[in-house]
């Protein structure tokens, strides 16, 4: 049986760039919404769900980057 290549478990450099940009833009827009264009304090009880969303997206993008670097580290060892 052939093994399917999963973009999340085996990310490419193109995947990292796309998701890194999407993550940065979306979190920037969420901060702008939370602070009402930097006029309010974002640490309010009504903003907790958006803060959890930002934390979750940050953790998943970090995990994506770690998998990419782990995969490349293994490939470099196999080449030598």
What are the CA-CA distances from residue 18 to residues 7, 50, 67 (Å)? 12, 22, 15
Instruction: Quickly tell me which residue has 């264009």 as its tokens.
Output: 37
Is the entire prediction scored with pTM above 0.95? no
pLDDT at 35: 86
Pairwise CA distance, residues 29 & 24, whole Å:
9
pLDDT (tens place) for every residue of the chain, 80 residues total: 566 778 878 888 999 999 999 999 999 999 998 888 878 888 888 889 989 999 999 999 999 999 999 988 877 777 66
Residue ranges per structural domain of the chain: 13-79
């Amino acid at each position: 049986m052939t093994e399917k290549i999963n973009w999340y478990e085996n990310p490419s450099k193109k995947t990292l760039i796309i998701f890194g940009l999407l993550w940065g833009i979306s979190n920037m827009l969420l901060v702008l919404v939370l602070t009402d264009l930097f006029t309010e304090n974002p640490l309010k009880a009504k903003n907790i769900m958006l803060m959890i969303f930002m934390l979750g997206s940050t953790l998943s993008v970090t995990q994506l980057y770690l998998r990419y670097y782990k995969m490349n580290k293994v490939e470099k060892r196999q080449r030598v």
